[in-house]
Structure 1
Amino acid sequence: MVEAVTIQEQQVRFLPLNGQPFDLESTLFSGQVFRWRKQEVWYEGVIFGRIVRVREVEGGIAFATADEDVDESPSRLRDYFSLDLDLGEVYSTLSRDEDLRESLDRYRGMRILRQDPWETTLSFLCAQNSNVLRITRNVEDMCRSFGRPVSFGGNTRHTYPTPDALVAAGEQALRDLGLGYRARYIVSAAERVARGEIDLMALRDASYDDALEALMILEGVGDKVANCIMLFCMDKPQAFPVDTHIRQILRERYPRSRRVKSSDIRRVRAWAQEYFAPFAGYANHYLFHSRRVQGRS
């Protein structure tokens, strides 16, 4: 739980939404990011190497953070929440599908974040054969153990560990945190990034196919994890992660998808990318989140 803190009014700034729909709760707790916490009306996360607190207000987002880079914070937060994307265009395109329309209406304003590529890769290496609660615990333990401490408003948390920090820590230290076999994948990825063998940030500008090929060189990264990484941090709206939930949804709601063998993830993904083009990733995330919420109710 977030410690009780007092945020002075002069620390709070405003980021206008300019009429764009926005659902902060669904955006932050839909399974694409794992370090946000809620306390009363504020949500607290560690992004840009510092603690940031945000909440919805009329016409925009109120936010508070440390005073470093005061002028840069609004533009960085706008980029993080992908506020440059016109959700109206996404909804107009995807609403032609009646099965999807219900999820679009229910979670209207849920946005796909534009996260840091290294942090996203690290998170989804932890996500294999796991669930949101366990991923959140694994990521937070790793940050607390090997990240840099940052403070704001009387609270201290930790940044994501750098590749070098994880290489120095080694596989056994990660296993001791309960990461199991994922520890090997994390250290292997950290070594490749630290040696400059892969430039994750540069993959934002790469084509979908080139980014997919580059990511799948990393040990432990298959088609699903690669598509998660591309969707949540690399500006690839056509990325379509296929897991058990998505396979089940497609078979239940989309008879034409049954022509593709459900165990063939790449063919299932290719079918969905064509059917939901050009915003297959948004279709995926709204369907995924809707199923997760239904499963909890």
Structure 2
Amino acid sequence: MKLRETPSACPSLWRSLPCPPAELRLDLVLSSGQTFRWWESSPGAWTGVLGEHVWTLRQDRDRLWYTVYGKEENGHPAEAAMLDAAEMEQILRDYFQLDVGLPALYRAWGAADPHFCKVAKDFPGVRVLRQDPVECLLSFICTSNNHISRITAMIERFCQAFGRRLCYLDDQAVHAFPSLSALTGADTEERLRALGFGYRAKFVSGTARAIAEGLGAEGLRALRAVPYAEARRVLCTLPGVGAKVADCVCLMALDKAEAVPVDTHVWRIARQRYGAVLGGRSLTPRAHQEIGNFFRGLWGSHAGWAQAVLFCADLRKNQELARSRDQGKQGQDSPGDVTH
């Protein structure tokens, strides 16, 4: 979808807030597997669904520009009148956790870890999102043995099939993430399999039903207030949720900055950069714990944020290597295009 609006072309539709690149790099944060509902709609502009609204974001020097679309008028998206300027800014500040000062954290991590210091200079502004817990949980269940590009396509089909239509952009409908009530039908698993979810269909539908009949969306959100270990334990009781998915949700939706998601990507970083014996010979539950504890000891209370920087850097390196190997092959998943 291509959007023609720019801050200079439609100033009445755009607002901005101070946000230097050292605090946030949209291109790094929105494309590195934390979320799957944003796309680069035109060079430097990112469009996606946040809450019940469609947004376009753009960075210009030290400012973050944004516009929000509401329901279509005469077939075209209109500016969202239901949100005032203060509400829009607060939503973005919460989503990007802009109250967390990133440069100070980078300095502390770099002082404690020479490898981080070397990598981070080329990857400023990588911060952890604060996502809706239901959306984050169901999305990350889909990441098992998967690629970012494929996950993104799966989530898009998921939202089109089960989510409420928000508006049209360039004649294409944009949908909200499905509500729990939309996912509790007896045919949900069957419909997900038809959408290409494979074995993940059982876990997505089972977890949605378990939450709807148990904690509820508010109960899941309330895990933000409990200790990390307790939130992780509760999540691991849900269908298809293991240590990695639980840690992703703890970090990116439940305010557990110390959570360190460990997949084969992070396991390789730990072994190659921090000691070959760390985590043992395979990615076992014990290895998850050992690697998480190691990084928490190294980086401190925001260890999950530091890990996100290294993950992003390693992902970009692998994607560049894959592109150099696969030049001329269009529309295929890159071997380096992996997520948490």
TM-score range, shorter chain: over 0.9
Q: Which moved more, 1:84-93 or 1:148-157?
A: 148-157
User: Which residue identity lines up with residue 176 of structure 2 in the other structure?
Assistant: T
Residue of structure 1 equivalent to 2:82: 68
Task: Report what 1:278 is aligned to.
Answer: 301
Match of 2:182 in 1: 165
Q: 1:88 to 1:68 in 2, by over 3 A?
A: same
Q: Note the alpha carbon deviations across 1:4-48, whole angstroms, 9 max, x for none.
A: 444632110112227962211101111101111111232101012
CA distances 1:189-217 after superposition (whole Å, capped 9, x unpaired): 11122123352211111110111011111
Deviates more, 1:117-126 or 1:96-105: 96-105
The answer to which of 144-153 and 245-254 deviates more is 144-153
* Identical aligned residues as a percent: 33
1:142 aligns with 2:162: no
RMSD (CA atoms) = 1.8
TM-score by length of 2: 0.82
Which residue number corresponds to residue 296 of structure 1? 319
Determine whether 1:239 maps to 2:259: yes
1:6–1:153 Cα contact (<8 Å) kept:
no
Q: Aligned AA for 2:311?
A: F
Contact 1:20 1:86 in 2 (8 A): no
Q: Which residues of 2 match residues 28-177 of structure 1 at below 5 A?
A: 28-38=30-40, 39-65=42-68, 66-70=80-84, 71-96=86-111, 97-151=113-167, 156-168=173-185, 169-177=187-195
> Residue 214 of structure 1 corresponds to which residue in structure 2?
234
Q: Secondary structure at the match of 2:277?
A: helix
1:6-21 counterparts in 2 under 5 A? 6=5, 8-17=10-19, 21=23
- Unaligned runs of 5+ residues in structure 2 are 69-79, 321-340
| 2:326 aligned partner | none
Deviation at 1:148, TM superposition (A): 0.5
Please give the per-residue CA displacement for 1:65-121, whole angstroms capped at 9, x wherever unaligned: 022222311111111111010112211221021111122211101111111111101
Q: Distance in 1 between matches of 2:180 and 2:278?
A: 42
> Aligned pair in 2 of structure 1 residues 18, 24: CA closer, same or farther (>3 Å)?
closer
Deviates more, 1:187-196 or 1:235-244: 187-196
Distance 1:10 1:234 in 2: 35
**1:48, 1:28 → 2: CA distance?**
15
> Is 272-281 or 79-88 further displaced after alignment?
272-281
Matched with 2:334 is none
Contact 1:5 1:153 in 2 (8 A): no
Residue 251 of structure 1: aligned partner: 271
- 1:51–1:152 contact (8 Å) kept in structure 2: no
TM-score normalised over the length of structure 1: 0.94
Change over 3 Å in CA distance of 1:40–1:19 after alignment to 2: closer
Matches of 1:183 and 1:142, distance apart in 2: 10
Per mean C-alpha deviation after superposition, the further-off stretch among 113-122 and 257-266 is: 257-266
Match of 2:24 in 1: 22
Residue in 1 aligned with 2:338? none
Residue matched to 1:261: 280
Residue range with higher mean Cα deviation, 281-290 or 148-157: 148-157
